[in-house]
Amino acid sequence: MNAILSTAQVHSKSLPDLVNKLLAARQESLVLFQKLAALKPFALTASIHPLLRRFRQALVDYLALGPFEVYEALEEQPAESPYRRARDLSRRLYAHIARTTQAALDFHDRYEGKLSEPALAELNGELSRLGEALATRIELEDRIIAAVRQVDLRVAA
């Protein structure tokens, strides 16, 4: 490696920590998604309300970590940063990730408040569409995460 990397230049703590935080929030959301999907066939029972509420909150927490923490930290990297590739990749993928964010927020808003029979009847289809959006988001995020981790591996070596 030609250049000596300073701690300020690499942000060795913040980006890896933010990525780990994002992955933990993602995992929590996916676990709750799976628990919710396992309740099929859906019925207006006392058990669905708290689980749906927990899932919706975990989903919003996860969605916020990407643009408001990880991508923002990448944008703050200087031009000569070793995270330049990850920053450029996040810039290219951000519009695609934003579409998945909107799909998830639409789900969140649709199931806010008291559940009705018609909304419950559509929950399976809505979860399926949300699952597809989340799968796309995860695929895109994983590309950015891999680029961040490549830098971390080079710095650690």
Domains and CATH numbers, the chain: 12-156 (1.20.120.1370)
The backbone torsions φ and ψ at residue 82, rounded to the nearest 5 degrees and listed phi first, read -65, -15
Among candidate residues 111, 116, 96, 14, the one with its CA nearest the CA of residue 60: 111
H-helix or E-strand spanning residue 151: helix 123-156
**pTM (predicted TM-score):** 0.85
Q: Could you read off the pLDDT of 72-116 as tens digits, one per residue?
A: 999 999 889 999 999 999 999 999 999 999 999 999 999 998 888
Q: Could you read off the pLDDT of 106-157 as tens digits, one per residue?
A: 999 999 988 888 888 999 999 999 999 999 999 999 999 999 999 877 766 5
Q: How many CB atoms lie within 10 A of CB 25?
A: 20
